[in-house]
Each structure stands twice: as C-alpha cells, then as structure tokens.
Amino acid sequence: MRDFPILTRHRRGVAVTAALATAALTLVGCSPGNSGGNSNAQGCDGGPATLKVLRATGQLPTDQQLSAYTTKTNGCVKFDVTDVPFGQYADKVSVLSASSNAPDIYGYDMPNTANYAAQGILLPLDDHLPAGWKDDVLPATLTEGSYDGKVYTMGIQQDVLSLYYNKTLTDKAGIEVPTTLDKTWTWEQARDAMLKCQQGTPGNPTVYGLAPTQLGSGTPGPIYSDLLFLRSNGDPKAPKDSSAYKTFYAISPDGNAVDGWLNTPEAVDAATFYQSLYKGPKAVTSVTGRPNAFLDGKACFEMFPTAQVDALKEAKVPFKWGNSPLPYIKTPIVHTGAISIGASAKSKYKDQAAKFVVALSSGDLAKQYAKDTLRMPTLNSVYEGLPEFHQAPQSMFYKQLQERGAPRPPTTHFSQYSQIVEEALKNIAYGSDPKSQLDQAVSQLTPLLSQ
Amino acid sequence: MTTMTSRGVSRGSRKRSRGDALAAAAFLAPFLILLVIFQFGPVAILIRDSFYSYSLANPDIAKFVGWGNFTRLFNDPIAMQSIGVTLLFAVGMVALVIPLAFLMAIYLNQNLPARGFLRTAVFLPVVTSSVVVATLWNFLLANQGLVNAIVQSLGFQPVSFLTDASTALPSIIIMSVWQQLGMATILYLGGLQSLPGDVMEASLLDGAGPVKRLLLVVVPLLSRTTVMVVVVTTVFALQSFTPAYVMTQGAPEGTTNLFVYQIYKSAFTLQQPGYASAMSIVLLLGAITVSLVQMRLLRTRWDY
Amino acid sequence: MSRSFSTAVPDQLELPDAPAPGSHGPSGPPIGSKHPSTRRIWRRVWTTAVILLIIAVFLLPYEWMFISGLKTQAAIFDDIKPLSWKTFVPLETTFENVRELFMDRGVGRALLNSAFVAAFQVVCSLVLCTTAAYALTRIKFRGRGVIFAIILATFMLPAEALVVPLYQLISTMNLQDTLVSVGLPWIASAFGLFLLRQSFESVPVELDEAAKIDGAGHFRVFWSVILPVVRVDLITFILMIFLFSWNAFLWPLVVIQSQENTLVQVAVAQSVSPGALPNWGLTFAGASVATAPLIILFLFLQRLFLPGLARTGLK
C-alpha cells in the first residue's frame, strides 16, 4: 500500500466536486417522457386497453380474475401484471405512482385507502357504483374504502383474525375451547389456557402456548393483530371525551392526533398485559420464534386470518384443529380490511380501469371469487347466497366481522402510523417500558400526522 | 541543420500533443460522462432535495424549507439516537477488529500446518454478501438457533441476543467483526510481510522477549496499516444497512437503528425523502471526513 | 516482478500454500529450550486448539447453513436441541427446499438476473475503466491531474447515501425496474480505474515507444501492447466487479420493483423478512444458492481475489 496518489489530490478534488455538483443541479428536473398508447378499435367500448396492474405476490387481482375479465370483455381489456412482495407493497406504491410507468390498477391493503386517496393516487368510483351497493356492503368495508365522502375501493374480500387451536394438544391438556361468539374468552382466560397447554419452560418452551407471530414481518407488533390488545381495552360506548372511548379508536376521528388516544392509561395497561405474553413467568410465546410452529404441531394456539384454514387443509396436518373467536380485554374487536383493488387517478384508461374494479367487486365475479376461495365476502347478498359460509368456521368468521369488525385507525398517514406503532409494540414485546414506548410513538407521530 | 530539426520536432510534437488531447478525450469521455451523471448528479440532487419537503408520490408539490430539514434532524431524538448507535457500532467494530486481526495476522504469518486453508476460512465471510451473512447470523443467534443450542448444552439459559436491548447491538457488532476480520487480517499480513527483516533481527539480538518485541517494535511499525484498518472498518460501519434491515428492523428500542436504515425508512416508508436527503448529506460529510482524516494521517506517516 | 499488485501484497498472499521462509516451526525444535519435548507438545496443543477454534468460528456456520438447506424445518429444530453431531449432518437429505426455490419461488430467475447484471457491469466497466486508465497513464495532456482528482473524489462518496437521489435520476430516465438500471450507475467505477491505473503504470513506457516507432496509434498500443501485458490484473479486476455486483443489496432493493426482475440477494433477504412465512430450511437453501457461486469462484481463484480485495481497503 505504498503508492497512494489520492493523498495529494483530494483538496482539489473536493473543489471540483462542488463545482460539478452545482452544474449538475441545472441538469435535473426534466420531465418524464410519455409513452403513447393507441385507441380506437372496433367493437370495444372506449377502445382496447392494456391495464397495468401492481399486485402483491399471490394476492388480488388473481390471474383467474384477470383472465375471466378479459374473456368477459371479449378481449378488449388486457392486463400487464407486476408482482411485488407484500411486505414492500406500500413502499413501492409511493415510488411507482409518481413515475411515468404508473400502474392503472392497484391491488393494495385497504387501510391505505385514505392515504392514497388524499395523495391523488386513487380514482373515486362513485359514478360507477352499482345501484343498492351501499346497502349491501359491510359497514366497516364502506368506511374503510371511503375518504372524504367518496368511495375509492369497494372491497372484494374480508379477512378476519381468529384463534386457531390444536385440538389434539388442548384435549390432552384438558382445555375446552369456545367456538361461538357468546363464549369468547377474555385474554386472561386465553392466556391461562395457553399456559396450561404449553410444554417446557415459559420463554423457551418446546411446545408454545401461542405460536410466535407470522404476520407482518414475522416479528411482534403488526398493527393488524397486536394493536387489537390496546383497542380492546377501550370502550366505544363510553363518553366521547373519556380515555376509554379514545383508547378504542387509537387515533382522533380526523386522523391527525394520537396524543391522548394511543397512550391512555388503558392502552398502557393493555400493553403491559401484551408484554406478559412474551416476558416473565406467564410467557406463552416468544419474540424470535420457530416459523410455522402451529402448522408443525408445535403450538397450541395461533392468531391468524382466515387463510390458515386453506394452509392447514393443504398441509394435511396430523392433528385436529378448530377456531375460536379472538379473545378480548374489555371490548371484543377484530380489524377489518384485506387486499382490495382500486383504479389509478392518473391512468390513461380511467373509464376502463374503474369499470374493471367495479366488475370484480360486485356481481357474478365477486360471487365466483368468494365461492372459489371461501374468503369472507364484503357483500351481504353474496354471503346469503352461498351456503358454504353458513357452517363453521366460516359462519363464526363472518359473525365476528359483522359484530366486532372495526377498520384499522383511519388516517391519511397510515403507513407512517403503522410503521411507528408497530415499532413501539415490538419494543414492548421485547421488554421495554410500555408507557415510555407509547409516549415515544406519540411524540414521533404527532409532527408527521399534522403535515 | 540544427534549427531545421528543432523546428521540425516542435511542429511535430505540437501536432502530436493535439492528437494526444483528442485521443485522451476519446478514451476518457465515456467514463467521465457516466461518472458525472451517476456520482455527481445524485450529489447535486441530494443537495437540492435536502432543502425541500415533498413526497415521492407527488414530487411536484414540493415546499422549500431552507435549513428546516437539518434543524429538524438535530432536534429529532430518533435520528440522533440512530447517529449515536452507528458511531457506537463503528467504535465497537474498530475496537474488536484491530486486536483480533493483528493477532490473527501474527498467527497466520507463522509456519503453520494448513495455513492457506485457515486463511481461506477467515476470508470466506469477506466474499459472502452481507445479506447472506445477516440471514445466517439471524438463525445462529435466534432463541432456537445454533449459538443458543451451544449455550444450553453448556448448561446456561438461552439468551435473546437480538431482541434484548443490552445484547442486540453487541451481537451485530460481533457479526460484523466476523464478516470483516478477514479483510483487516489481509491488510495486517501485508504490513507484517513488508517489515524489514533486519529490524526483527536487531530486536532479537537485543534480547527482547516476543511480547515486548511485538508491542515495542512491530506495533509502531504497523501504525500505517492500523490507520488503514480503522478507516476501512469505520467506513464499513457507517455504510451498514443489512443487519438492521434483515435482522432487527432497528429494534429493540432503536438500539440497532443504523443510520442508513433510518435513511431508507425515512425516504421510502415514512415518505420524507427531503428529510432523508438531509440525513444522507450528514452521512456523506461523515464519510468524507473519515477519508480526509485517513489521508492526513497516512501522509504524515509517509513523509517520515 | 511483472505484476504491479505484488508490490503491495507480498507473494505469500498470492500463493497461500507456499511454505513461509525460515525454518522455525512446529517441526523444528526451538533453540535454547530446556525441555524441548514438553514445550513442543504444548506448542502443538496450542496450535491445534487455535486451528480448531478458527474452523469452528468461521467454517462451522457455513457448514450448518449448507446442511440445513437440505433438511426440513422440523428436522432442523429436532436436530439442534440437544446439540449433537446430528446438528451438522443431513440424516434424511431432502431436496424439497431446493426444488421449491427453483420451481415455486423463482430463484432460478433471480440467479439469472443477478448473472446478467454482473455480466453487464463487468463488460461495461472493463471497457470504460481500461480506456480511461490508458488515457490517464499513457497519454500526456493538460488537466490530467485534475481529472484524476475528480475521479478519485468519488471514492469518498458512500453509495448508500446516494440511493434516494439516484432513484429519482433513474426514474427521470424511465429506467426504474430494469436490470440495466441496477448496474448502470456503477459501471464508471473509480475503484476499478484506480486498480487498473496502478497496473498500467507498471508496464514499461519503452514498450509503447517501440510500438509507436512502428507507427502504431493509441488504440493499437492500448489493444496490442498494454492489455496483453496486464491480462492477469484484468482478471482480478473482473473478479472484483463481479463480487461487488453479485453482493449488492440496497440499490437493487430500491430500484427493482417487480418479482420477475428480482436479484438473488434481494430474494434471499425477502425470504427471511416481510410476510414471507419464513421456513428455515428454505431460507438456508436460498442463502446457500446465493453464496455458492462466489465461494466456488473464490476457492479456485483465491490468489487473484486477494490483491484486489486488499485494495478495497483504499476505498
């Protein structure tokens, strides 16, 4: 390492860097080019179109749905699909929606509706809604798909958490698990059962009471499941200025304030309970867990959405299993919202895109999808028309949705809210002080939300 | 005759120098153009963006905020913690890499059986991608991972390496040391093997014991190499992203929230690219400072 | 010495198996020792212990990774607690993980993408850096020093700090989510140029002068005189660019959106985190597949890698 010419050159180098930097400043900012599209072909309403779809891998709209729609339109509407990993979908939307290559159709997670609508990414669908749709749809879906009085997505499916249990293990431990809403466990009861069923030392068991989470990034804290602990310790029927009421909503109605909503005494209590599932003598799960512990028969219980039913059937697991309604602390609650589709406000084919979204979210195609996948429908008419949904566990899932479903906290800054609250919950699970974590999340979120 | 020749030569050399300039331009242009576009261009954009507040979804609606992003940065406890964590990470790495690499180099510099094999082993992590290293260590350090299996077979309680606030940062420091040790060892080996033989012999004749000889003779002679190892390790630490992204997501309590990860999160998840640009400039200045200090130190040594 | 790199990296580094000079070693009795046999035994024990420690710390994790890629997740967990020889041996080898990687998870595609990007980067860098290095070492012109300083200044810019603006730049060019965009920003590599410049400088000027007297132009000198002399260094250069390209992570993560253009490192990272229901066996298999090409290359071409890697220290 003898010759090292950079030694004598760096000063001038830096000066030139600066000069070039200023020169290059003037270079940037050119506008993206437009790729031309052709229209005007006979027989197609509004001309043939190829819609660009941005989809989370393995999610909506499925290839089947797309080809069904192409057939339905006699080949007038075709699709060009880009798959991105679910965990990065929100990041990719923010990046792609501004590019010249912006998609026409988004298959996104519903709580982002307000965010995307406020940013002008999504197209309002009100002009295209079928008659009577608003009376048919689940109220929580309508709330979640709307922003500022307009509907931006109609929802195709609903998902709902429940407590899966390994009946072989719970039977052995002598535990009777409730399967109907009226007998829903409180979290205290549930934790005792988990503890009873667990094998090995708490914190490092051989069979978990509760399977380590598989949601979100596979670590504790996802809003979808874990914020429910906090909200469940609130009460929507309490006076509107009470902290119990605010705890239930976890954000102000306008979506701009979290102080006094997210860090209430009730929320702190709930977070302390949540922590006890991970730490201490009553720990029933683990922060870095064995993935798929429930499927492997190494966990008595697991919190998971409806999709696990398919996975369990497919894996042909060697144990009996069932579903129990999600436990609660004071108020039973489950989060609504699943992947849904919306049309881009920046699309060249706005009309075709909107029609596509409406067609998939209602009528025959919606019914067909529910029938094929047994995912919870968003339309009451579909639910009534399909006998498959009137038996366990689907019937219990649907009842949970109807009676206990609430959207995730509505805000135009959902991705920030979700990121920061998840971090706080994760730290709590890892053993940090619940109150200071929630306070810190509040102080971090407050400036972001007011922007 | 002589005048003729010299005129001829000077005309010829002028012609050649013009031809040379053209050739040089042709040979250099492609490289320089791309370098300016993809290195200096982004720096320029970065500087501009750091004065604006905007979102990636709607970059056209940008608000000029002056030094706002920078004042916010220095008042943001999360960002300041992230800078602190990154510096601690760098210091921890340097403190471990220097002695370990030095000893390893001394060890490998002997006549050993299977020396080449050992050197390959130590060097393997250097050519392994940071993603694979992080993935592997994520499982090594998990509650049910290999390290805890060893810990338990020795009769101890398992340790939550990556989720306990007191062990998470030390864990990723050790992982990164494992990853970078080979690099530092190679640099020290090069240094050791370039030591003049008579220095060693003279110190032997003085009757200095091996430890004393190492400390008093070898260490000072290798100070140039040490500076280099410090810089390589520091720059590596400042640029680290993968451990936070793959293993910890910055948790617990932000103790592993490396600065580049905080920049990534601010830009793409929290939707604050202007703010992220201001952070990037701080990182840029930090890295440049380290490089300048290196040059300063190495030059002084070089002049002695 | 014909190789310029050898001035800084001594021969022994390049020839890892060559015996070191000097006769002191475990085989020869140390001079002046009172109990030569006891000391020799202790020394041998000590040496063996350190060797075993190095192997345990540096090679065992790799062994565990490769082996676990051939196990089901259940087998990995069953074999790890209690710790035994089973932990490191695939008793019931399964290629199911590898099959799933290639058939269902598109890792084959990701490997091809990574290979394409690396090839693109290597070829372009080779052209750009050799020509630029030629101009900077063989042609005398005004401003040469300034230009070299400008280039070296970019050494100090951490790529990680430039990701956000680089992404904006690439989008303006409408290149985002293309494989070319992954390599393009890095092909004018200051590090590569620096590596080659040293190598070019070691070629005696007399060689070009002789060629020029024969009437050769710059391109002829570059192509027929310089390049053949430095060809071994060019291989080191290629290996280094390949290594950087293959192992890059943050930039591909940002610039590539679609699954079909994913690179192998990003694919591995995604199989561990965000919502992928990680399966240890599958993740290990993915990590193994992503690492194997480089490890094989490194094992065979180690002596060409080391001088280049030692130079990254200068970056």
pLDDT of A400-439, one tens digit each? 998 999 999 989 999 899 999 999 999 999 999 999 999 9
Q: Is the pLDDT of residue C118 over 90?
A: yes
Question: Residue C60 belongs to what domain range?
Answer: 38-94
Mark whether C87 and C143 lie in a shared domain.
no
Confidence at residue C36, expressed as pLDDT on a 0 to 100 scale: 66
Asked whether A241 and A255 are in contact (CB, 8 A), the reply is no
Domain boundary among C70, C94, C118: C94
Distance from CA of A288 to the nearest CA of B (A): 6
HSE, side-chain direction, 13 A CA sphere, residue A148:
13
**What are the backbone dihedrals phi and psi of residue B207, each rounded to the nearest 5 degrees, phi first?**
80, 20
Residue A42, chain B, CB below 8 Å: the answer is no
pLDDT of C249-272, one tens digit each? 999 998 988 878 989 999 888 775
Cβ contact B164–A25 (<8 Å): no
Q: Which of B18, B109, B126, B132 to mutate to test the interface with C (most CBs of C within 10 A)?
A: B132
Burial class for A422, CB neighbours closer than 10 Å (0-12, 13-18, 19+): buried
Looking at residue B209, what DSSP letter applies?
Answer: -
Confidence at residue A355, expressed as pLDDT on a 0 to 100 scale: 94
Cβ contact A100–C174 (<8 Å): yes
Domain boundary among C27, C62, C94: C94
Query: pTM for the whole thing?
Result: 0.86
Residue C289 in any domain: the answer is yes
Cβ contact C272–B229 (<8 Å): no
Cβ contact A219–B249 (<8 Å): yes
Q: Measure Cα distances from B256 to A115, B173, B234, C22 in Å.
A: 29, 10, 16, 47
Q: Enumerate residues 6+ apart whose C-beta is below 8 A from C203.
A: C225, C226, C229, C230
Residue C217, domain CATH: 1.10.3720.10
ipTM of the complex: 0.86
Residue A5, chain C, CB below 8 Å: the answer is yes
pLDDT of A72-115, one tens digit each? 999 999 998 888 877 778 878 887 887 777 899 999 999 999 99
Tell me the H-state helices in A262-345. 265-276, 307-315
Instruction: List chains adjacent to chain C, taking adjacency as at least 3 C-beta pairs closer than 8 Å.
Output: A, B
pLDDT of A312-364, one tens digit each? 888 889 999 999 999 999 999 999 888 999 999 989 999 999 999 999 999 88
Distance linking the first and last C-alpha atoms of chain A = 52
pLDDT of A264-278, one tens digit each? 999 999 999 999 999
Residue C259, chain A, CB below 8 Å: the answer is yes
Q: Measure Cα distances from B274 to A22, A118, B45, B270 in Å.
A: 18, 20, 10, 11
Distance from CA of C26 to the nearest CA of A (A): 31
Tell me the H-state helices in C173-230. 179-183, 190-201, 205-213, 218-220, 227-229
Cβ contact C153–A86 (<8 Å): no
Number of domains in chain C: 2
Distance from CA of A80 to the nearest CA of C (A): 12
Q: How far apart are CA A394 and CA A376, in angstroms?
A: 8
Average pLDDT for B171-200: 88
Confidence at residue B220, expressed as pLDDT on a 0 to 100 scale: 82
Q: How far apart are CA A380 and CA B139, in angstroms?
A: 46
Token digits of residue C309: 């890697």
Average pLDDT for C142-151: 87
CA-wise closest residue to C300 among C12, C16, C4: C16
% of chain A beyond a pLDDT of 90:
62
Q: B residues 31-70 near C, CB within 8 Å?
A: 31-35, 37-46, 49, 59
The one-letter amino acid code at C4 reads S
Residue B246, chain C, CB below 8 Å: the answer is yes
Confidence at residue C303, expressed as pLDDT on a 0 to 100 scale: 83
Average pLDDT for C42-47: 86
CA-wise closest residue to C277 among A315, B149, B262: A315
Confidence at residue A140, expressed as pLDDT on a 0 to 100 scale: 86
Q: How far apart are CA A289 and CA A206, in angstroms?
A: 11
Residue numbers in C near B121 (CB within 8 A)? 54-55, 58-59
∠ Cα A125 A127 A131 (to 5°):
100
Q: Looking at the partner chain, which of B27, B130, B193 has a beta carbon nearest the beta carbon of C10? A: B193
Residue numbers in C near A14 (CB within 8 A)? 153
Tell me the H-state helices in A233-362. 243-249, 265-276, 307-315, 350-361
The residue ranking higher by pLDDT, C124 or C35, is C124
Q: Enumerate residues 6+ apart whose C-beta is below 8 A from C119.
A: none
Residue spans of the domains in chain A: they are 9-159+337-406, 162-334+418-449
Mark whether C155 and C270 lie in a shared domain.
yes
Residue B103, chain C, CB below 8 Å: the answer is no
Mark whether C200 and C220 lie in a shared domain.
yes
Q: Which of B171, B249, B256, B303 to mutate to test the interface with A (most CBs of A within 10 A)?
A: B249
Q: How far apart are CA C217 and CA C212, in angstroms?
A: 7
Q: How far apart are CA A153 and CA A142, in angstroms?
A: 8
Architecture of the structural domain at A9-159+337-406: 3-Layer(aba) Sandwich (3.40)
Helix (H) / strand (E) element for A339: namely strand A339-343
What rounded mean pLDDT belongs to chain A? 86
Q: Is the pLDDT of residue B108 over 70?
A: yes
Instruction: List chains adjacent to chain B, taking adjacency as at least 3 C-beta pairs closer than 8 Å.
Output: A, C
Work out the number of other CB atoms within 10 angstroms of the CB of residue A358. Answer: 21
Tell me the residue length of chain C.
315
Q: Enumerate residues 6+ apart whose C-beta is below 8 A from B39.
A: C154, C157, C162, C185, C188, C190
Residue A318, chain C, CB below 8 Å: the answer is no
Q: How far apart are CA B255 and CA A131, in angstroms?
A: 54
Q: Where are the beta strands (DSSP E) in A154-223?
A: 157-158, 162-166, 199-201, 204-210
Q: Is the pLDDT of residue A28 over 70?
A: no
Cβ contact A4–B298 (<8 Å): yes
Confidence at residue C80, expressed as pLDDT on a 0 to 100 scale: 86
Residue numbers in B near C299 (CB within 8 A)? 120
Mark whether C42 and C159 lie in a shared domain.
no
Q: pLDDT band at residue C81, thresholds of 50, 70 and 90?
A: confident
Residue C173 in any domain: the answer is yes
Query: Across the A/B interface, how many CB contacts are shorter than 8 Å?
Result: 124
In order, the DSSP letters of A36-103 are: ------TTSTT--EEEEEEEETT-SSPHHHHHHHHHHTTTSEEEEEEEE-GGGHHHHHHHHTTSTT--
Cβ contact A85–C276 (<8 Å): yes
pLDDT of A284-313, one tens digit each? 998 877 888 898 899 999 999 988 888 888
Helix, strand, coil percent content, chain C, rounded in steps of 5 = 75, 0, 25
Q: From C162, which residue of chain B is nearest by alpha-carbon distance?
A: B42
Q: Measure Cα distances from A382 to A24, A367, A400 in Å.
A: 58, 6, 17
CA-wise closest residue to B261 among B21, B77, B86, B56: B86
Superfamily for the A162-334+418-449 domain: Periplasmic binding protein-like II (3.40.190.10)
Q: How far apart are CA B238 and CA C157, in angstroms?
A: 12
Domain boundary among C59, C94, C129: C94
Cis peptide bond prior to C252, omega within 30° of 0: no
Mark whether C89 and C220 lie in a shared domain.
no
Mark whether C163 and C306 lie in a shared domain.
yes
Q: How far apart are CA A260 and CA A274, in angstroms?
A: 20
Cβ contact B224–A120 (<8 Å): no
Q: Which of A292, A339, A422, A426 to mutate to test the interface with C (most CBs of C within 10 A)?
A: A292
Distance from CA of B174 to the nearest CA of A (A): 19
Burial class for C218, CB neighbours closer than 10 Å (0-12, 13-18, 19+): buried
Tell me the H-state helices in A362-393. 363-373, 380-385
